[in-house]
Structures are given as C-alpha cells and as structure tokens.
Amino acid sequence: MLKVLIVDDHGIVSTGISRMLQDVSNLQVVGCAASGEEAITLTKETLPDIVLMDVHMPGIGGLGATKEIKRILPKTKIIALSALDDNPYPTKLIEAGASGYITKGIALDEMISAIEKVAKGGKYISSDVAQKMALSQMSKEDGDTPLDSLSDRELQIAQMIVDCRKVQDIAEKLNLSAKTVNTYRYRMFEKLSIGSDVELARLAMRHNLLGVGAVD
C-alpha cells in the first residue's frame, strides 16, 4: 500500500484528487496540505511514500517545500503538480529533487501510473511537459532566457509581482520584511535590465511566467 500526501492550496482540487485516489486499491491518501509549510509538517507526521506537490502556493511554495522535504526526508518521493506546463518551474522542481512533474489536466490513469513508477524509483514527466522542457533546453543552447538569471526566491517574488500582489502582501505571505522584498525586487530589475513592474510583467508574459492562481 502506497501512502500519498496531497498538497494544493485549492481545497476543491485536493478533495477531488483525494476522492479519486481513495478508490485505487493500492493507494492510501494520508492527508491534504494547503501550503508548503503545512506540507513539510504533514510529511514528517505521516511519512508518505509519495507527495503530490502543487507548484504555486502561499508561503514558500512547492519549490521551497520540495527542497526542504528532500533535505529532511530524502527517501520521500515528490511529484510536482501544476496547471502549467511551459514555465520555468518543471526544470527547477526536478533539480530540487522532484521525481516527476504532471499537469492537473491529466487523466486519472496517468496520475496513477506516475505515482506507481515514481514509487519504484523511476521518473515520470507528462509528455506535454517533457516536450516543452526539451524545446526549452534547445533554446538555451542558443542562449539563456533572462529569467534563468533569477534565483528561486527572486523567481517566486517575480511571480507574485506579475500577479499584481503588493509588496506588503508579498512580505506577509513569505514571512519577510517589506524592505527585504524590495531588495529582491530591485535586484531582479538589475539582472533583467528593466525599471518597473510593468516591464517585468511584459517580460514574464514573453517567457511564460504568468501563472493561474499562483499565490491565492
């Protein structure tokens, strides 16, 4: 019996996935978390075999949670789960230790296959994601995109800025001071050679950083 923890800040999504997986004979849903921080806590408490990790969440988000879980419980397998298939996150999640990356639009059979394959020590990336990762890698051979210069934290804050979040709101969500957020913001501007949030939004749109409900 494989123990599965579901992490998604949208209750309707985690509840839906939970109900579907509960009908699978060899899977047991041991809990649902709504943030990266809660995912870390529940992972330590329930010791799941597989964590289905939403990428875009409040606080440290799926990327930060993946790194921390792999640090404290390296044998735990993580499958990133996202509504997006073509932004910078697939590569970053895999580099952080995730064993798979699937989109929320896949069929239940494919999700089960991903869980079973990863549990056995394999890797699983949805075909649409894998194709776009390959194309992205080919593009990098001709030169990195500007967003590749950003650190994980800078990328997270950039995502929140283009989602029209105010500095104070970002600071509260990430448990940082407004001054620290602004420091990251201006550092991003320097790296990207831009001068405003509007220019950041345009750049994000050009390179598929704009998300769907990234940090509710």
For residue range 68-120, list pLDDT tens digits in order. 999 999 999 999 998 766 566 788 888 899 999 998 888 999 999 999 999 99
| Domain contains 76 | yes
- Tens of pLDDT, residues 197-209: 888 888 877 766 5
Domain boundary among the residues 86, 117, 138 is at: 138
Question: Do 84 and 163 have their domain in common?
Answer: no
Question: Do 11 and 46 have their domain in common?
Answer: yes
pLDDT score for 85: 60
- Tens of pLDDT, residues 120-130: 999 999 877 77
pLDDT score for 95: 87
pLDDT score for 17: 94
Question: Do 182 and 115 have their domain in common?
Answer: no
| Domain contains 213 | no
Question: Do 26 and 83 have their domain in common?
Answer: yes
Q: How far apart are CA 78 and CA 72, in angstroms?
A: 13
Q: How far apart are CA 93 and CA 96, in angstroms?
A: 5
Compute the C-alpha angle 88/92/93, nearest 5°. 115
CATH number at residue 96: 3.40.50.2300
Question: Do 134 and 151 have their domain in common?
Answer: no
Question: Do 131 and 152 have their domain in common?
Answer: no
**Total of domains in the chain:** 2
| Domain contains 182 | yes
| Domain contains 153 | yes
Question: Do 85 and 189 have their domain in common?
Answer: no
Which among 5, 1, 37, 2 is positioned nearest to 18, based on CA atoms? 5
What pLDDT band is residue 212 in, cutting at 50, 70 and 90? Answer: very low
Question: Do 29 and 117 have their domain in common?
Answer: yes
| Domain contains 43 | yes
- Tens of pLDDT, residues 134-170: 545 544 444 456 777 788 788 888 888 888 889 999 8
Tell me the pTM.
Answer: 0.71
Residue span of the structural domain in which 171 resides: 146-206
